[in-house]
Amino acid sequence: MGDQDRPDRPPVRHRCGPHPQSGPVTAGPVTAGPVIERERGQSTVELAVIIPVVVLLILLTVQAALVLRDRVLLVHAARAAAREVIVDPQVASATKALQQQGPPISTARVTLTGGTTGGSLATVTVRMRPTRVPIVGRVVASTVLQERLVVMIEGAS
């Protein structure tokens, strides 16, 4: 609406005057320089602290999943061994059934207790150690998974 800097007019007057806090613009407080220098690399340190924790949590999750998988495999293997014992009540036949399951079940131990004659009850117990993940595998080092089934031996009583 016109030129405010016209020479034939006086300069525009402000009612309140300049703002009391106005002044030259600076880059910030005088103490900002040293604070910025102290915080340099902070995100790198935070990342270096959190990465091992995250890796440890991932390894623990994998270890838990492997123990659950081994438990399911053990139940299946114990059933297979028990089916063999029903027909042939010998530890060798139960062990052969475990060997056919493949790793990690092939390393399991089987015990047979009870009767071995037709019509008697036999207890098949299968034990194994769970698969261990490096670093966190020590958590389950002393754990032994076990499954026990009682079956009736086939044949005349």
Give tens-digit pLDDT for 128-140. Answer: 999 999 999 999 9
The region that residue 114 occupies, defined by phi over 0 for left and psi between -120 and 50 for alpha, beta otherwise, is: left
**Residue 100 pLDDT:** 94
In the numeric block, the tokens 């390393």 are attached to 107
Cis bond before residue 18 (omega within 30° of 0): no
Query: Residue 128 in 3-state DSSP?
Result: strand
- Burial class, 120, CB count within 10 angstroms (exposed 0-12 / middle 13-18 / buried 19+): middle
Domain boundaries defined on the chain: 42-152
Question: What is the average pLDDT value for the chain, to the nearest integer?
Answer: 86
**Residue range 67-106, pLDDT digits in tens:** 999 999 999 999 999 999 999 999 999 999 999 999 999 8
